């Protein structure tokens, strides 16, 4: 049998309502030499029936004997992948029809890439656009991409990345033994810093869905902060002369993430946000930037006043 060019892996668990759209967009790629590998983490809904409704030999369905957890399911898909390249497409995310074609073109022109990624468009539960992610140079060093991401100037999600399957297998896959949430960031950052070059195509669009079940919340903040500490420890070996700058970038990333979560909670009318801000003051004080200060002010002001101020700013542009 002729090997597949790309494996589009769709790990899934109880999300059949979105799964059909994800499989559809994978099968409708302009690249035909692909397989769509669905690894089911013991779903209790009609996931199996949804997959069975696709009469396409490129679709392969594997039901795990037990729930392997998120990264365990991702690694199961990586283990079974038959494609030369690997895309992890969450069961609620989408990619444009020419996404894979554009990603592969970057690898053909630049065979030494660590990975290639496309533009992220954030959509809601109904598929309506919320906002777009950042753009980037077509070719960039792994160090610059890593710093850009930590400084909130680059947008990278699993559905927007294409890897060589052999490269991520060589790393041992996704490190679920050390990370609860940031294992995907470890993988792409490690590859970027090891191999040194990352490609970007602004016309290759990936649609990252945000909804109540997928959003980062204050309840999981401690897990993110612990993961980021581990990520810093793991990455600094690749940039021994730039460890201090890497540490500052992580402090900035954590402070901005915390203030964005607090402000979102504040706007939704949840009480106790100032107390939470004080609880995590050690995170905020490590990076007293103008952006963090601005978000502090937003947190202190009444929500209607903040909204009026934002409206005035938009009207003056």
pLDDT tens profile 255-265: 877 777 666 66
Distance CA 8, CA 87 (A): 5
Asked if residue 284 has pLDDT above 80, the reply is no
Mean pLDDT of 208-223: 68
Q: What is the DSSP string of the chain?
A: -PPEEEEEEEEESS-HHHHHHHHHHHHT-S--SEEEEEEE-S--SSHHHHHHT---TTEEEEE-SS---HHHHHHHHHHH--EEEEEE--TT-EE-TTHHHHHHHHHHH-TT-SEEEEEEEEE-TTS-EEEE-----SEEEHHHHHHHHHTT-----GGGEEEEHHHHHHTTS--TTT-SS-HHHHHHHHHHHHH-EEEEEEEEEEEEE--TTTS--GGGHHHHHHHHHHHHHHHGGG-GGGHHHHHHHHHHHHHHHHHHHHHHHHHTT-S-HHHHHHHTHHHHHT---HHHHHHHHHHHS-HHHHHHHHHHHHHT-
Q: Which of 67-76, 144-153, 193-202, 207-216 has the lowest mean pLDDT?
A: 207-216
Asked if residue 89 has pLDDT above 60, the reply is yes
pLDDT tier at 206, thresholds 50, 70, 90 = very high
Distance CA 60, CA 56 (A): 9
Asked if residue 126 has pLDDT above 50, the reply is yes
Mean pLDDT of 113-119: 98
More confident residue, 223 or 20: 20
Distance CA 122, CA 115 (A): 21
Distance CA 174, CA 156 (A): 16
Mean pLDDT of 42-62: 96
Per-residue model confidence (pLDDT) at position 176: 87
pLDDT tier at 306, thresholds 50, 70, 90 = very low
Per-residue model confidence (pLDDT) at position 219: 59
| Of residues 83, 66, 72, the one with CA closest to residue 9 | 83
Asked if residue 253 has pLDDT above 90, the reply is no
Per-residue model confidence (pLDDT) at position 270: 54
The pTM (predicted TM-score) of the whole model is 0.85
Per-residue pLDDT tens digits for 169-203: 999 999 988 999 999 999 999 999 999 999 999 99
pLDDT tier at 316, thresholds 50, 70, 90 = very low
Task: Kindly indicate whether the domain formed by 4-209 is annotated with CATH number 3.90.550.10.
Answer: yes
Instruction: Give domain limits for the chain.
Output: 4-209, 220-315
Distance CA 51, CA 49 (A): 5
pLDDT tier at 116, thresholds 50, 70, 90 = very high
252-255, long-range: CB < 8 A, 24+ apart? 252/150, 252/151, 252/152, 252/287, 252/289, 253/149, 253/150, 253/151, 253/152, 253/228, 254/224, 254/225, 254/228, 254/283, 254/286, 254/287, 255/283, 255/284, 255/286, 255/287, 255/289, 255/292
Which tokens sit at 60? 């392969």
Per-residue model confidence (pLDDT) at position 294: 53
Per-residue model confidence (pLDDT) at position 317: 46
Per-residue model confidence (pLDDT) at position 266: 57
β-partners of residue 59 are 36
Among residues of the chain, what percentage have pLDDT more than 90?
A: 71
């Amino acid at each position: 049998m002729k090997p597949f060019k790309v494996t589009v892996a769709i790990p899934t668990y109880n999300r059949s309502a979105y799964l059909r759209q994800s499989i559809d967009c994978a099968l409708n790629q302009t690249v035909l030499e692909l397989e769509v590998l669905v690894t089911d983490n013991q779903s209790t809904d009609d996931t199996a029936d949804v997959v069975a409704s696709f009469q396409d030999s490129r679709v392969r369905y594997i039901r795990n004997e037990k729930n392997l957890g998120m990264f365990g399911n991702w690694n199961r898909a990586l283990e079974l992948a038959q494609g030369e390249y690997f895309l992890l497409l969450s069961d609620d995310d989408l990619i444009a029809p020419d996404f894979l074609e554009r990603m592969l073109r970057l690898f053909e022109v630049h065979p030494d890439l660590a990975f290639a990624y496309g533009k992220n468009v954030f959509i809601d539960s109904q598929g309506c656009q919320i906002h777009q992610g950042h753009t980037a140079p077509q070719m960039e060093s792994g160090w610059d991409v890593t710093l850009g991401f930590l400084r909130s100037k680059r947008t990278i999600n699993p559905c927007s990345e294409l890897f060589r399957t052999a490269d991520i297998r060589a790393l041992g896959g996704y490190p679920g033994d050390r990370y609860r949430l940031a294992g995907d960031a470890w993988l792409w950052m490690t590859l970027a810093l090891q191999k040194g070059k990352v490609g970007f195509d602004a016309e290759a669009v990936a649609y990252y869905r945000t909804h109540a079940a997928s959003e980062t919340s204050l309840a999981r903040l401690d897990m993110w902060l612990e993961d980021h500490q581990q990520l810093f420890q793991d990455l600094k070996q690749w940039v021994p002369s730039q460890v201090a700058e890497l540490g500052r970038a992580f402090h900035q990333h954590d402070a901005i993430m915390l203030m964005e979560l607090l402000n979102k909670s504040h706007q939704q009318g949840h009480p106790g946000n100032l107390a939470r801000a004080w609880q995590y003051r050690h995170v905020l004080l490590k990076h007293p930037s103008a952006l963090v200060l601005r978000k502090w002010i937003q947190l202190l002001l009444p929500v209607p006043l903040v909204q009026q101020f934002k409206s005035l700013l938009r009207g003056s542009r």
